[in-house]
Protein backbone atom coordinates (compact mmCIF):
# COMPACT_ATOMS: atom_id res chain seq x y z
CA UNK A 1 0.00 0.00 0.00
CA UNK A 2 2.78 2.38 0.96
CA UNK A 3 4.60 1.63 -2.28
CA UNK A 4 1.46 2.44 -4.24
CA UNK A 5 1.10 5.76 -2.43
CA UNK A 6 4.72 6.62 -3.12
CA UNK A 7 4.25 5.70 -6.77
CA UNK A 8 1.20 7.94 -7.05
CA UNK A 9 3.04 10.81 -5.35
CA UNK A 10 5.85 10.46 -7.86
CA UNK A 11 3.51 10.93 -10.78
CA UNK A 12 3.28 14.44 -12.22
CA UNK A 13 0.23 16.38 -11.08
CA UNK A 14 -2.30 16.80 -13.86
CA UNK A 15 -4.53 19.83 -14.27
CA UNK A 16 -6.91 21.23 -16.81
CA UNK A 17 -5.89 24.10 -19.03
CA UNK A 18 -9.11 25.40 -20.49
CA UNK A 19 -10.19 28.66 -21.96
CA UNK A 20 -11.80 30.69 -24.69
CA UNK A 21 -10.51 32.21 -27.89
CA UNK A 22 -12.06 35.65 -28.41
CA UNK A 23 -12.01 37.42 -31.76
CA UNK A 24 -11.37 41.05 -30.81
CA UNK A 25 -12.25 42.21 -34.32
CA UNK A 26 -15.81 40.90 -34.02
CA UNK A 27 -15.95 41.04 -30.23
CA UNK A 28 -17.24 37.45 -30.07
CA UNK A 29 -15.84 34.01 -29.15
CA UNK A 30 -14.26 32.40 -32.19
CA UNK A 31 -15.06 28.87 -33.29
CA UNK A 32 -12.77 26.78 -35.45
CA UNK A 33 -9.46 28.10 -34.12
CA UNK A 34 -6.57 25.61 -33.95
CA UNK A 35 -5.02 25.67 -30.47
CA UNK A 36 -1.68 24.05 -29.58
CA UNK A 37 -0.32 23.37 -26.12
CA UNK A 38 3.45 23.25 -25.59
CA UNK A 39 5.18 22.18 -22.38
CA UNK A 40 8.23 24.30 -21.57
CA UNK A 41 10.72 22.24 -19.59
CA UNK A 42 14.24 21.49 -20.84
CA UNK A 43 12.97 22.32 -24.29
CA UNK A 44 9.65 22.72 -26.06
CA UNK A 45 7.49 19.58 -26.04
CA UNK A 46 4.11 19.32 -27.74
CA UNK A 47 1.43 18.55 -25.14
CA UNK A 48 -1.72 18.66 -27.22
CA UNK A 49 -3.70 20.09 -30.10
CA UNK A 50 -7.39 20.89 -30.45
CA UNK A 51 -9.90 23.14 -32.22
CA UNK A 52 -12.26 25.53 -30.46
CA UNK A 53 -15.93 24.57 -30.34
CA UNK A 54 -18.93 26.68 -31.35
CA UNK A 55 -18.51 28.78 -28.18
CA UNK A 56 -14.79 29.33 -28.76
CA UNK A 57 -13.90 26.93 -25.92
CA UNK A 58 -10.94 24.54 -25.66
CA UNK A 59 -9.50 22.26 -22.98
CA UNK A 60 -6.30 20.29 -22.33
CA UNK A 61 -5.07 17.98 -19.56
CA UNK A 62 -1.37 18.43 -18.84
CA UNK A 63 1.41 18.26 -16.27
CA UNK A 64 0.85 20.97 -13.65
CA UNK A 65 4.52 21.12 -12.60
CA UNK A 66 5.78 22.89 -15.72
CA UNK A 67 4.97 26.15 -17.49
CA UNK A 68 3.06 25.88 -20.75
CA UNK A 69 2.58 27.93 -23.88
CA UNK A 70 -0.89 28.06 -25.43
CA UNK A 71 -0.94 29.10 -29.08
CA UNK A 72 -4.02 29.99 -31.10
CA UNK A 73 -3.66 30.01 -34.90
CA UNK A 74 -6.14 32.22 -36.75
CA UNK A 75 -6.03 33.31 -40.39
CA UNK A 76 -2.32 32.52 -40.68
CA UNK A 77 -1.20 34.36 -37.52
CA UNK A 78 -0.27 32.86 -34.14
CA UNK A 79 -1.23 34.38 -30.77
CA UNK A 80 0.44 33.20 -27.56
CA UNK A 81 -0.42 33.03 -23.87
CA UNK A 82 1.95 31.65 -21.22
CA UNK A 83 0.55 29.58 -18.35
CA UNK A 84 2.65 29.33 -15.15
CA UNK A 85 3.11 26.03 -13.29
CA UNK A 86 1.21 25.06 -10.16
CA UNK A 87 -1.95 26.96 -10.97
CA UNK A 88 -4.37 24.01 -10.80
CA UNK A 89 -7.31 24.49 -13.12
CA UNK A 90 -6.17 27.36 -15.28
CA UNK A 91 -8.69 29.26 -17.42
CA UNK A 92 -7.04 31.06 -20.31
CA UNK A 93 -8.38 33.71 -22.67
CA UNK A 94 -6.58 34.20 -25.96
CA UNK A 95 -7.33 37.23 -28.10
CA UNK A 96 -7.13 36.84 -31.87
CA UNK A 97 -7.79 39.33 -34.65
CA UNK A 98 -8.99 39.11 -38.22
CA UNK A 99 -6.24 39.65 -40.78
CA UNK A 100 -5.87 42.16 -43.62
CA UNK A 101 -3.21 42.08 -46.34
CA UNK A 102 -3.16 45.90 -46.41
CA UNK A 103 -1.67 48.21 -43.79
CA UNK A 104 -4.91 50.01 -42.99
CA UNK A 105 -4.40 52.24 -39.94
CA UNK A 106 -0.84 51.03 -39.26
CA UNK A 107 1.77 53.80 -39.01
CA UNK A 108 5.55 53.63 -38.78
CA UNK A 109 5.75 55.85 -35.74
CA UNK A 110 9.51 55.81 -35.16
CA UNK A 111 12.70 54.87 -37.02
CA UNK A 112 16.11 55.08 -35.32
CA UNK A 113 19.46 54.58 -37.08
CA UNK A 114 22.57 53.97 -34.93
CA UNK A 115 25.96 54.19 -36.67
CA UNK A 116 29.16 52.85 -35.07
CA UNK A 117 32.64 52.26 -36.52
CA UNK A 118 36.03 51.07 -35.32
CA UNK A 119 37.76 52.32 -38.47
CA UNK A 120 37.56 48.88 -40.09
CA UNK A 121 33.83 48.18 -40.26
CA UNK A 122 30.86 50.51 -40.37
CA UNK A 123 28.08 48.93 -38.32
CA UNK A 124 24.51 50.14 -38.70
CA UNK A 125 21.64 49.20 -36.38
CA UNK A 126 18.11 50.30 -37.20
CA UNK A 127 14.93 49.98 -35.17
CA UNK A 128 11.52 50.65 -36.71
CA UNK A 129 8.33 50.79 -34.66
CA UNK A 130 5.01 50.00 -36.37
CA UNK A 131 1.97 51.17 -34.41
CA UNK A 132 -1.36 49.49 -35.08
CA UNK A 133 -4.27 51.30 -33.37
CA UNK A 134 -6.92 49.11 -35.01
CA UNK A 135 -8.41 45.73 -34.10
CA UNK A 136 -7.11 44.07 -37.27
CA UNK A 137 -3.74 42.35 -37.76
CA UNK A 138 -1.77 43.38 -40.84
CA UNK A 139 -0.09 40.38 -42.44
CA UNK A 140 1.20 39.98 -45.99
CA UNK A 141 3.59 37.04 -46.49
CA UNK A 142 4.03 37.82 -50.20
CA UNK A 143 5.33 41.39 -49.88
CA UNK A 144 5.97 41.69 -46.14
CA UNK A 145 5.01 44.35 -43.64
CA UNK A 146 8.33 46.19 -43.31
CA UNK A 147 10.26 47.24 -46.40
CA UNK A 148 13.79 48.60 -45.97
CA UNK A 149 16.88 49.51 -47.98
CA UNK A 150 20.40 48.13 -47.49
CA UNK A 151 23.50 49.57 -49.24
CA UNK A 152 25.17 47.31 -51.80
CA UNK A 153 28.32 46.91 -49.69
CA UNK A 154 26.32 45.41 -46.80
CA UNK A 155 23.91 43.04 -48.53
CA UNK A 156 25.79 39.90 -47.53
CA UNK A 157 25.65 40.88 -43.86
CA UNK A 158 22.02 41.49 -42.89
CA UNK A 159 20.54 40.46 -39.55
CA UNK A 160 16.87 41.03 -38.74
CA UNK A 161 14.62 40.44 -35.75
CA UNK A 162 11.02 41.33 -35.02
CA UNK A 163 8.94 41.50 -31.84
CA UNK A 164 5.17 41.37 -31.44
CA UNK A 165 3.55 43.55 -28.75
CA UNK A 166 4.84 42.21 -25.44
CA UNK A 167 6.74 39.42 -27.20
CA UNK A 168 10.37 38.35 -27.44
CA UNK A 169 12.55 39.17 -30.48
CA UNK A 170 12.43 36.51 -33.20
CA UNK A 171 14.96 36.24 -36.00
CA UNK A 172 13.48 36.75 -39.45
CA UNK A 173 14.86 36.28 -42.94
CA UNK A 174 15.35 39.47 -44.96
CA UNK A 175 13.88 38.75 -48.40
CA UNK A 176 14.91 40.86 -51.38
CA UNK A 177 12.15 42.47 -53.44
CA UNK A 178 14.15 44.89 -55.60
CA UNK A 179 17.48 46.65 -56.04
CA UNK A 180 18.67 47.01 -52.47
CA UNK A 181 15.11 46.76 -51.12
CA UNK A 182 14.21 43.98 -48.69
CA UNK A 183 11.15 43.02 -46.71
CA UNK A 184 10.31 41.10 -43.54
CA UNK A 185 7.37 38.70 -43.37
CA UNK A 186 6.07 39.37 -39.85
CA UNK A 187 2.50 40.18 -38.72
CA UNK A 188 1.79 43.62 -37.28
CA UNK A 189 -0.73 42.94 -34.53
CA UNK A 190 -2.71 45.64 -32.68
CA UNK A 191 -0.26 47.56 -30.50
CA UNK A 192 3.43 48.19 -31.20
CA UNK A 193 5.54 45.84 -33.32
CA UNK A 194 9.30 46.36 -33.30
CA UNK A 195 11.66 45.55 -36.17
CA UNK A 196 15.42 45.48 -35.51
CA UNK A 197 17.89 45.46 -38.39
CA UNK A 198 21.68 45.31 -38.46
CA UNK A 199 24.25 45.27 -41.23
CA UNK A 200 27.90 46.12 -41.70
CA UNK A 201 30.19 47.23 -44.49
CA UNK A 202 33.85 48.18 -44.84
CA UNK A 203 34.67 51.57 -43.33
CA UNK A 204 36.27 54.26 -45.48
CA UNK A 205 38.13 57.54 -44.99
CA UNK A 206 35.57 58.96 -44.72
CA UNK A 207 32.77 56.38 -44.70
CA UNK A 208 29.59 57.10 -46.64
CA UNK A 209 26.18 55.70 -45.73
CA UNK A 210 23.75 56.00 -48.62
CA UNK A 211 20.22 54.90 -47.89
CA UNK A 212 16.56 55.60 -48.28
CA UNK A 213 13.38 55.14 -46.32
CA UNK A 214 11.05 52.92 -48.34
CA UNK A 215 8.34 52.27 -45.75
CA UNK A 216 5.45 54.67 -45.17
CA UNK A 217 6.57 58.11 -43.91
CA UNK A 218 7.34 58.64 -40.24
CA UNK A 219 9.97 60.34 -38.06
CA UNK A 220 13.55 59.14 -38.65
CA UNK A 221 16.42 59.82 -36.22
CA UNK A 222 20.18 59.24 -36.61
CA UNK A 223 22.32 58.51 -33.53
CA UNK A 224 26.14 58.60 -33.58
CA UNK A 225 28.48 57.99 -30.60
CA UNK A 226 31.07 60.43 -29.33
CA UNK A 227 34.10 60.46 -31.64
CA UNK A 228 32.04 60.31 -34.84
CA UNK A 229 30.98 63.34 -36.87
CA UNK A 230 28.46 63.26 -39.70
CA UNK A 231 27.48 65.53 -42.56
CA UNK A 232 24.65 65.34 -45.07
CA UNK A 233 21.75 67.17 -46.62
CA UNK A 234 18.59 67.00 -44.57
CA UNK A 235 20.30 66.33 -41.23
CA UNK A 236 19.06 68.56 -38.41
CA UNK A 237 20.99 68.42 -35.10
CA UNK A 238 18.81 67.70 -32.08
CA UNK A 239 21.54 67.86 -29.43
CA UNK A 240 23.64 65.42 -27.42
CA UNK A 241 22.60 62.88 -24.84
CA UNK A 242 24.19 64.09 -21.57
CA UNK A 243 25.62 60.79 -20.28
CA UNK A 244 27.17 59.33 -23.44
CA UNK A 245 27.40 62.54 -25.49
CA UNK A 246 25.88 60.62 -28.42
CA UNK A 247 24.67 63.06 -31.06
CA UNK A 248 21.09 62.86 -32.33
CA UNK A 249 19.91 64.16 -35.70
CA UNK A 250 16.61 64.30 -37.49
CA UNK A 251 16.79 62.77 -40.98
CA UNK A 252 14.43 64.84 -43.09
CA UNK A 253 14.99 63.34 -46.54
CA UNK A 254 13.60 59.97 -47.58
CA UNK A 255 16.80 59.43 -49.60
CA UNK A 256 19.98 60.38 -47.78
CA UNK A 257 23.77 60.32 -48.14
CA UNK A 258 25.69 60.70 -44.89
CA UNK A 259 29.45 61.28 -44.68
CA UNK A 260 30.95 59.74 -41.54
CA UNK A 261 34.32 60.67 -40.02
CA UNK A 262 36.06 59.36 -36.92
CA UNK A 263 35.48 56.26 -34.83
CA UNK A 264 33.20 55.55 -31.93
CA UNK A 265 30.91 53.06 -30.21
CA UNK A 266 28.32 53.21 -27.46
CA UNK A 267 29.58 49.95 -25.96
CA UNK A 268 32.36 51.34 -23.75
CA UNK A 269 30.00 53.81 -22.08
CA UNK A 270 27.38 51.13 -21.65
CA UNK A 271 29.91 48.71 -20.14
CA UNK A 272 31.04 51.30 -17.63
CA UNK A 273 27.44 51.88 -16.55
CA UNK A 274 26.46 48.22 -16.43
CA UNK A 275 29.55 46.97 -14.60
CA UNK A 276 29.32 43.23 -15.09
CA UNK A 277 27.89 43.39 -18.59
CA UNK A 278 29.91 41.23 -20.99
CA UNK A 279 30.50 41.70 -24.68
CA UNK A 280 28.15 38.82 -25.39
CA UNK A 281 25.31 40.81 -23.83
CA UNK A 282 25.73 43.50 -26.46
CA UNK A 283 25.80 47.23 -25.90
CA UNK A 284 23.33 48.59 -23.38
CA UNK A 285 22.45 52.14 -22.42
CA UNK A 286 19.92 53.63 -20.05
CA UNK A 287 18.72 56.45 -22.25
CA UNK A 288 19.49 58.50 -25.35
CA UNK A 289 17.82 61.86 -24.93
CA UNK A 290 18.82 65.33 -26.13
CA UNK A 291 19.17 68.14 -23.60
CA UNK A 292 15.90 69.64 -22.41
CA UNK A 293 13.83 66.78 -23.79
CA UNK A 294 10.06 67.07 -23.55
CA UNK A 295 7.34 64.44 -23.39
CA UNK A 296 7.62 63.80 -27.12
CA UNK A 297 11.14 62.47 -26.61
CA UNK A 298 10.15 59.65 -24.27
CA UNK A 299 9.98 57.29 -27.24
CA UNK A 300 13.77 57.52 -27.55
CA UNK A 301 14.33 55.65 -24.29
CA UNK A 302 12.49 52.52 -25.35
CA UNK A 303 13.84 52.64 -28.87
CA UNK A 304 17.46 52.86 -27.90
CA UNK A 305 17.12 50.08 -25.36
CA UNK A 306 15.48 48.03 -28.10
CA UNK A 307 18.33 48.68 -30.51
CA UNK A 308 21.23 48.32 -28.16
CA UNK A 309 20.11 45.35 -26.08
CA UNK A 310 19.88 42.99 -29.04
CA UNK A 311 23.66 42.37 -29.20
CA UNK A 312 23.79 42.84 -32.97
CA UNK A 313 26.79 45.14 -32.72
CA UNK A 314 28.54 42.81 -30.31
CA UNK A 315 28.11 39.93 -32.75
CA UNK A 316 29.70 41.94 -35.55
CA UNK A 317 32.50 43.27 -33.33
CA UNK A 318 33.38 39.73 -32.24
CA UNK A 319 34.13 38.75 -35.87
CA UNK A 320 37.77 39.91 -36.15
CA UNK A 321 38.10 38.81 -39.76
CA UNK A 322 34.87 40.43 -40.90
CA UNK A 323 33.87 37.07 -42.27
CA UNK A 324 30.72 35.03 -42.22
CA UNK A 325 27.40 36.17 -40.88
CA UNK A 326 26.97 35.18 -37.21
CA UNK A 327 24.22 32.90 -36.05
CA UNK A 328 22.16 33.20 -32.90
In the chain, domain spans: 13-96, 107-317
Whether pLDDT at 136 is above 80: yes
14 pLDDT tier (thresholds 50, 70, 90): low
Task: Identify which has the larger pLDDT, 84 or 105.
Answer: 105
In whole angstroms, what is the distance from residue 44 CA to residue 235 CA?
A: 47
Q: What is the mean pLDDT of residues 187-192?
A: 98
Whether pLDDT at 55 is above 70: yes
In whole angstroms, what is the distance from residue 89 CA to residue 169 CA?
A: 30
Q: Tell me what pLDDT residue 88 has.
A: 61
- For residues 173 and 183, the answer to whether their CB atoms sit within 8 Å is no
Distances (CA, A) of 105 to 108, 190, 216, 252: 10, 10, 11, 23
- For residues 299 and 253, the answer to whether their CB atoms sit within 8 Å is no
Q: What is the mean pLDDT of residues 49-57?
A: 98
Whether pLDDT at 275 is above 80: no
Task: Identify which has the larger pLDDT, 306 or 245.
Answer: 245
Q: Tell me what pLDDT residue 85 has.
A: 84
Q: Tell me what pLDDT residue 45 has.
A: 82
- Residue 10 — φ and ψ, nearest 5°? -75, -20
Q: pLDDT tens for residues 291-311?
A: 443 333 334 444 444 444 444
Query: Tell me: domain 107-317, CATH 2.60.40, correct?
Result: yes
Task: Identify which has the larger pLDDT, 165 or 244.
Answer: 165
Tell me if domain 13-96 and domain 107-317 are identical in fold: yes
Q: What is the mean pLDDT of residues 260-267?
A: 89
Task: Identify which has the larger pLDDT, 44 or 224.
Answer: 224
Query: How far is CA 39 from its chain centroid?
Result: 24
Give the list of residues 6+ apart from residue 316 with CB closer than 8 angstroms, or none: 121, 123, 157, 198, 200, 326
Q: What is the mean pLDDT of residues 255-261?
A: 97
In whole angstroms, what is the distance from residue 317 CA to residue 44 CA?
A: 32
pTM given for the model? 0.79
Task: Identify which has the larger pLDDT, 83 or 99.
Answer: 99
Which CATH number is 13-96 given? 2.60.40.1120
66 pLDDT tier (thresholds 50, 70, 90): confident
Cross-strand pairs, 81 = 70
Q: Tell me what pLDDT residue 240 has.
A: 82
Amino acid sequence: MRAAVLFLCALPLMAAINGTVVNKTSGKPQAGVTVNLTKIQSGMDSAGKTVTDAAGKFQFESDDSAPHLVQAHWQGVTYNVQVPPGAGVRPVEIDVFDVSATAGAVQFSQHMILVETDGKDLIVNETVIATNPSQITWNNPQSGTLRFFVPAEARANILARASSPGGMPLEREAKQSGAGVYFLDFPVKPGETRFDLSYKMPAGSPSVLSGKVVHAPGPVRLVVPQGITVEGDGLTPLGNEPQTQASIFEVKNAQYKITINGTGSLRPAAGAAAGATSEEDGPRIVEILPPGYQRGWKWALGLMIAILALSFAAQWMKDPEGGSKPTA
